[in-house]
Amino acid sequence: MTELIKNLIGGKWEESGSGTFESINPAHTSETVGRVVKSGNAEVDRAVRAASEASRAWRLTPAPRRGEILFRAAEILVRRKQELGELMTREMGKVLPEALGDVQEAIDMAYYMAGEGRRLQGETVPSELADKDCRSVRVPIGVCALITPWNFPIAIPAWKLMPALVAGNTVVFKPSSDTPVCATRLVEVLAEAGIPEGVLNLVHGKGEDTGEYLTGRPDIDGVSFTGSTAVGEGVAQKCAAMGKKVSCEMGGKNAIIVMDDAVLELAVEGALWGGFGTSGQRCTAASRVIVHEAVYARFLEMFTRAASRLNLGSGLRKETDVGPLINSSQMEKVLGYIEIGKKEGAELLTGGKAYREGECAGGYFIEPTIFAGVTPTMRIAREEIFGPVVSVLKAKDLDEAIHIANDTRYGLVSAIYTQDVNRSAIAERELDTGIVYVNASTIGAEIQLPFGGTKKSGFGFKEAGGRGGALDMFTRWKIIYRDFSGKLQKAQIDK
């Protein structure tokens, strides 16, 4: 019998009176991974109340103690890495090595943020007055709503949960309805590690229902959202109107620039990984490759030949390179963009259709697809497709390549392949994206630096670690002046 996946509210695993929905294996749609409770408004209300009631005790728990819980969670994740990776491949579809990497990212984030329990640095500065000191400290913002997507079903929740918890916030977590089982397993790990009742609450449901209602609750102090630009803009506007702190990580139309001095074998590997890793279902996917005209034909030949050799199938098979798309609606969207590319006059070099051979007949598979002769004004060069479709464009020099790369409403990540240090320096300065790679693909950000984009790729605070990372989202600054002179002193006036 298929397991029933429940909500966690106030430390109790609960069913719902609003029905259930199913989580399906996208590689084998006849397999149900889990039957999941659907949260109504009443469940969301109780989850927020539980988080509010637990807030003071958790805030007053010493930060090093909070960090120790995250350290224990990291150790549990290490032990369960293989099990969780295989579950992710079944529920989300990405190939097993990528799924294991997803879990490893959660492990890394748990260890990193556990260490922040003994840092959470502010600063102490000298006062202009005698017998007075000045300092800043981080304090939690309160109750946080965390809304996460399906493409990184353990890593992205960890990116939000770990900093929110170590900073002393309580949480209501609403994961994607496409990957609720993975999210539940992560919450189970944190509960086993010792998170107190009510500090972490989990509610399942659709974004347009459960997520929409959750973010609109007046007693939510901050919202961290990862998903589409259209939805993220709505979340940001709602939070601004209600005075909530907000972080929105959204879409991308990322470009790899390949210069005439690039090592083409390396650039092709990067374009394959960036374009077809996770079946192109990453906000950081390299859906555009901008190639110098001197090596354009040779790059296309090498790239097309390599893409045509990629194996499609279940991500649990060792020989599989590209897994399925997440669901039927995403598959239809991607196929629709392929038809748009053909009508726009782009040249289809490989792929371009659903793949239903052998074991792939029962899943949402699309062949790795490459379009050549793409111009910057074509929709396939401007709109986020979120599938295994790459557009290749031609540029006469570095300036034109950078102009094409920047000529988009998105600004998440970009990359350049060149052996010229001066060219790479110019690209680092001029590419208008939150992340720039040199001689590496557009995917593979590390957790010890902030993650986020410019323009329509991100709004509000960044994710992950480092200065300007997630702790800035999940804390606010309190400034403390202590005068122990025993008399009234007036800053800027007393001398």
The CATH number of the domain holding residue 123 is 3.40.605.10
Note the pLDDT of residue 108: 98
Do residue 68 and residue 202 come from a single domain? yes
- 450 located within any domain: no
How far apart, in whole angstroms, are the C-alpha atoms of residue 365 and residue 359? 10
> pTM surpassing 0.75?
yes
- 449 located within any domain: no
Residues 6+ apart with CB under 8 A from 349: 300, 304, 370, 371, 372
Instruction: Report the candidate in 221, 208, 218 with the shortest Cα–Cα distance to residue 174.
Output: 208
- 66 located within any domain: yes
CB 190 within 8 A of CB 162: no
How far apart, in whole angstroms, are the C-alpha atoms of residue 310 and residue 306? 7
How far apart, in whole angstroms, are the C-alpha atoms of residue 442 and residue 297? 22
Average pLDDT over residues 349-360: 96
Note the pLDDT of residue 450: 97
| Whether residue 162 has pLDDT greater than 80 | yes
Do residue 239 and residue 387 come from a single domain? no
- 26 located within any domain: yes
How far apart, in whole angstroms, are the C-alpha atoms of residue 73 and residue 21? 28
- 446 located within any domain: no
How far apart, in whole angstroms, are the C-alpha atoms of residue 53 and residue 440? 47
- 491 located within any domain: no
CATH at 314: 3.40.309.10
Do residue 301 and residue 358 come from a single domain? yes
How far apart, in whole angstroms, are the C-alpha atoms of residue 246 and residue 227? 13
Do residue 241 and residue 309 come from a single domain? no
| Whether residue 495 has pLDDT greater than 90 | no
Report how many domains make up the chain.
Answer: 2
Do residue 306 and residue 414 come from a single domain? yes
Do residue 312 and residue 199 come from a single domain? no
The catalytic residues are 249, 283
How far apart, in whole angstroms, are the C-alpha atoms of residue 133 and residue 363? 64
Structure tokens at 201: 């609450």
Note the pLDDT of residue 377: 98
Do residue 461 and residue 431 come from a single domain? no
Output the CA torsion sign for 443, 447, 450, 455: positive
Do residue 224 and residue 77 come from a single domain? yes
Give 359-405 pLDDT, tens digit per residue. 999 999 999 999 999 999 999 999 999 999 999 999 999 999 999 99
Do residue 157 and residue 105 come from a single domain? yes
- 445 located within any domain: no
The 3 state secondary structure assigned to the chain is CCCEECEEECCEEECCCCCEEEEECCCCCCCEEEEEECCCHHHHHHHHHHHHHHHHHHHHCCHHHHHHHHHHHHHHHHHCHHHHHHHHHHHCCCCHHHHHHHHHHHHHHHHHHHHHCCCCCCEEEECCCCCEEEEEEEEECCEEEEECCCCCCCHHHHHHHHHHHHCCCEEEEECCCCCHHHHHHHHHHHHHHCCCCCCEEECCCCHHHHHHHHHCCCCCCEEEEECCHHHHHHHHHHHHHHCCEEEEECCCCCEEEECCCCCHHHHHHHHHHHHHHHHHCCCCCCCEEEEECCCHHHHHHHHHHHHHCCCECCCCCCCCCECCCCCHHHHHHHHHHHHHHHHCCCEEEECCCECCCHHHHHCCCECCEEEECCCCCCHHHCCCCCCCEEEEEEECCHHHHHHHHHCCCEECEEEEECCCHHHHHHHHHHCCCCEEEECCCCCCCCCCCEECCEECCEEECCEECCCCCHHHHHEEEEEEEEECCCCCCCCCCCC
Note the pLDDT of residue 481: 98
Q: Tell me which residue range forms the domain holding 323.
A: 255-438
Residues 6+ apart with CB under 8 A from 277: 98, 285, 441, 443
Do residue 49 and residue 155 come from a single domain? yes
Type of residue found at 294? A
| Whether residue 494 has pLDDT greater than 80 | no
How far apart, in whole angstroms, are the C-alpha atoms of residue 341 and residue 345? 7
Average pLDDT over residues 460-473: 96
How far apart, in whole angstroms, are the C-alpha atoms of residue 227 and residue 152? 11
Residue 1 binned pLDDT confidence (cut-offs 50, 70, 90): confident
Do residue 411 and residue 468 come from a single domain? no
Note the pLDDT of residue 478: 98
Residues 6+ apart with CB under 8 A from 450: 462, 463, 464, 465, 466, 467, 468, 469, 470
CB 145 within 8 A of CB 214: yes
Give 205-262 pLDDT, tens digit per residue. 999 999 999 999 999 999 999 999 999 999 999 999 999 999 999 999 999 999 999 9
Give 93-134 pLDDT, tens digit per residue. 999 999 999 999 999 999 999 999 999 999 999 999 999 999
Q: Are strands 410-411 and 170-174 parallel, antiparallel or unpaired?
A: unpaired
Do residue 101 and residue 149 come from a single domain? yes
- 349 located within any domain: yes
Average pLDDT over residues 450-467: 96
Residue 17 binned pLDDT confidence (cut-offs 50, 70, 90): confident
